[in-house]
Chains A and B, each alone.
Chain A
């Protein structure tokens, strides 16, 4: 059997490294019976919804869905909410992959309703702000023309901070930052490096407001058609990969941050706990925006996630 695995990122990315490990483990544990074929960005098309379509339709059996998944699974926007994840990235990874959250009825149903099934969560590191001015307090972000994806929840979030969120296509972003059409930007560290956004920005601000999280999704019919043994195998492998995934993203983002530091004199700001609290307060009401937008399943998913983080923090 061949399992096709679609990635939102190109070769040599966090998702690709994770998928390579997944492939190795599946092929080893199934003793060569299953062959995993990796399809990086571009191999299945160039627009994310083409990948989600292919997984929903079953042409591709499994793959990653992250920021753009909101149109396909509205509840998945939960992972875009700010200040719901613990500061500790390892605790976050554990909470996201705990049965309390991942196997919760609400989260599973959200995907099942769209012919998908969530298999694992891969945090890919903090979403980091960049700007041409130092941002330490909500006053500093006031009216900052920060670029967000064309997504109502993200817009609401940055409006709540007092910024003026603006939408710019990814391909136009570099020149928009360079010409000053956008004054700030939000990306995981590796993306800031890959697209060289740091060249045209003066400050990088680590506010720990959220991580960039990709959900490993499978086609529901495909998953249900697997033998109990195979399902158990996948479950085992994804559990093993929680730690490895965390290590992969930490290593990638550290390396990329070093590259940024060595190639530019960008100023790096780490917000203190007190500074973060100011933003955290402003972000809280946005949870209600999320619930209003996606409904009861979203509210239950949020509840499951918060209690999963509680448990993970206590080391349960």
Chain B
């Protein structure tokens, strides 16, 4: 029965049905074949409850903030600032791109928002300097995924809720691994620029740099306000998303006047549509995952492996990494975290793993998985946003996936990388 289920879903996926169809048909299949005692009525309940969640509000808000900033000056001014300090370096522009995605991700908390906000201005710049489109797209997609590791991050929030562990500690724990990944990407960009023979530009004068810094003063208030507000106890990570919108409006509508009040309707519509496209998958994904859960399928599949692992910490972490990696290849990371974390909870406890460390590994897998062909959700975001064919979007990804897997190994072997900062903070 499980094989039939997998085949049906895979065929529907490969045929090119919208992603929600295989998920919904899989759900109904399990219900009609009696794998679960729940019927389609419950599927509707799960859909409603799957998206009726306060934590999810951060996604449309950060996307909206990003849309406003991209339409206005802020995104470009932040890019100019980074550019002024890196353009004379070999591979300076792609490194700038990676760093900008990470910085923007630090604020937006959403990989999709980052693909939208940073990909927009950066991709033309990369193409103009002679980088290939597939490299540019892969770089943007993968660097945006660093956003998941740098606070605030939806992945950490959802994991913290499900695992009942401190979200604040998770935020701290993600920072160093995020920087590690950024470093690896930068090295790759440097090598890539050398191989392709793309020469660095002239060093920016201090006058230019000062100008860029002046231009970026107000935009820099953005990360300071959002991150400072969260750690200062003014608002929660979710509420910070609305503050991000408010500050973006203040900058672009009131101060720079680059975005008119009239533009806002269109921006809200586009943010709303991108959100809805993802959230319908969260909704149906919730029905699918709960159905899968009540049918006891993940336990059946993972149970033997979990049992044989027992107390071996490295093996346990490796299994968790593999399971989340595969899961995130198919379904939105938030949904994967909701399904798989409860299944692994006993293993995490019995192998005496630190839930914070596991949270970082899980979130890293979510980042890798969402950029991994064939089913990465950031790939789909890039397709949706840039309207490029599927194959072109994925052609450049393998080296990035490889680097991310190396980062996973390093993280499994050196838990201190994630646990050091929370230990300092707490």
Residues on B with C-beta less than 8 A from A174 are 166-168
CB-CB nearest in chain B for A168: B236
Cα separation A43 to B230 with both chains bound (whole Å)? 33
- Whether A171 contacts B160 in the complex (CB less than 8 A), given A4-B37, A181-B234, comes out as yes
Question: Any chain B CB within 8 A of the CB of A169?
Answer: yes
Among the 9-residue stretches A53-61, A110-118, A269-277, the one with 4 or more Cβ atoms under 8 Å from chain B is: A53-61
Among the 9-residue stretches B20-28, B48-56, B413-421, the one with 4 or more Cβ atoms under 8 Å from chain A is: B48-56
Question: Any chain A CB within 8 A of the CB of B238?
Answer: yes
Q: Are B55 and A169 in contact (CB under 8 A)?
A: yes
Cα separation A252 to B372 with both chains bound (whole Å)? 46
Interface string of A71-115 (1 = CB under 8 A from B): 000000000000000000000000000000000000000000000
Question: Any chain A CB within 8 A of the CB of B237?
Answer: yes
Interface core residue of A168, A174, A194 (most chain B CB under 10 Å):
A174
Residues on B with C-beta less than 8 A from A178 are 166, 168
- Tell me, rounded to whole Å, the shortest Cβ–Cβ distance linking B351 to chain A: 18
Among the 9-residue stretches B38-46, B125-133, B214-222, the one with 4 or more Cβ atoms under 8 Å from chain A is: B38-46
- Tell me, rounded to whole Å, the shortest Cβ–Cβ distance linking B350 to chain A: 14
Interface core residue of A42, A53, A171 (most chain B CB under 10 Å):
A171
CB-CB nearest in chain A for B50: A47
Q: Are B233 and A180 in contact (CB under 8 A)?
A: yes
Interface string of B321-344 (1 = CB under 8 A from A): 000000000000000001000100
CB-CB nearest in chain B for A183: B233
Residues on A with C-beta less than 8 A from B168 are 174-175, 178-179
Residues on A with C-beta less than 8 A from B52 are 47
- Tell me, rounded to whole Å, the shortest Cβ–Cβ distance linking A6 to chain B: 11
Cα separation A172 to B42 with both chains bound (whole Å)? 27
Question: Any chain B CB within 8 A of the CB of A268?
Answer: no
Q: Are B167 and A45 in contact (CB under 8 A)?
A: no
Interface of B is mostly: helix
Residues on A with C-beta less than 8 A from B160 are 171
CB-CB nearest in chain A for B168: A175
Q: Which of A45, A194, A196 contacts B46 (CB 8 A)?
A: A45
Residues on B with C-beta less than 8 A from A45 are 45-46, 49, 286, 290
CB-CB nearest in chain B for A171: B161
Question: Any chain A CB within 8 A of the CB of B293?
Answer: yes
Residues on B with C-beta less than 8 A from A194 are 164
Cα separation A190 to B163 with both chains bound (whole Å)? 17
Top 4 A-B residue pairs of the complex, sorted by shortest distance between their CB atoms: A171-B161, A180-B233, A179-B233, A47-B49
A residues at B contact (CB < 8 Å): 4, 42-47, 49-50, 53-54, 57, 59, 168-172, 174-176, 178-181, 194-196
Known contacts A50-B290, A168-B236, A196-B166; 19 additional CB pairs below 8 A are A45-B290, A46-B49, A46-B162, A46-B290, A46-B338, A47-B49, A47-B52, A50-B42, A59-B41, A172-B236, A172-B237, A174-B166, A175-B168, A175-B236, A175-B237, A176-B233, A179-B232, A181-B233, A181-B234
